[in-house]
Amino acid sequence: MRTRLSVNVNKIATLRNARGGNIPNLIQVVKDCERFGAEGITVHPRPDGRHIRYQDVIDLKDVVTTEFNIEGYPSDSFLDLVMQVKPDQVTLVPDAPDALTSNNGWDTVTHLDYLAGIIKMLKKEGIRTSLFVNPEVKIIEGARMTGTDRIELYTENYAKLYPQNKQQAIMPYMIAARVAETQGLGVNAGHDLSLENLRYFSQNIPELFEVSIGHALISDALYLGLEKTIQSYLALLR
């Protein structure tokens, strides 16, 4: 199994929104990402619309030809949006409305019933579900009980520790991925994965289905160009 690359295009929308108008053109960037080899597109609309807006998600519905992954906190408005768009995958995150970025995973034990109800509704519509979680065994076991199809491992701690001790950094994620596989869960990962640390992560997590990368990838594209950047990330995964 080869790990797939989903490009998070939130930062493109952030840049566009900084000046208003439509530069850079989000739709064209998404088309180009796929043309350059991206195997999925990820968006994370937030209530304040500071980057990807709900209308962007609707506009992308008939544009994305690979895998469309929508991340977000399952508010009523978010759920109405994804039920309208029906993406390939919905990744549920426990962000507060004012969160700068996703910075923690679900407590799947405490929120088991809440998550199970939402996941049941999404799966009824044929939408694959993933839960954003920390690499903790009890949390992953709780995720299985919700009925989710996959988990997305929150990898910020890995990225922070990697420069000092990459073996120590990867260990909780290796354990978590093995547990997920025994629980029948697919494994995604994301947050602060980069050209520096991605190869080691993917080589040590053979269970890894998909990575979602935005901030680092778009930042690298400022120097390398978007096509070369996407090809560089794909090369690490191969």
Which residues carry out catalysis? 44, 71, 191
Chain centroid offset of residue 99 CA: 16
Structure token pair of residue 109 = 């034990």
Burial bucket for residue 194 (CB in 10 Å: 0-12, 13-18, 19+): middle
Structural tokens at position 144: 């299985």
Instruction: Using DSSP, state whether 142 is helix, strand or coil.
Output: helix
The whole-angstrom separation of Cα 106 and Cα 133 is 5
* Secondary structure element (H or E) that encloses residue 196, with its range: none
* Strands (E) located in 1-135: 4-8, 40-43, 68-72, 89-92, 128-133
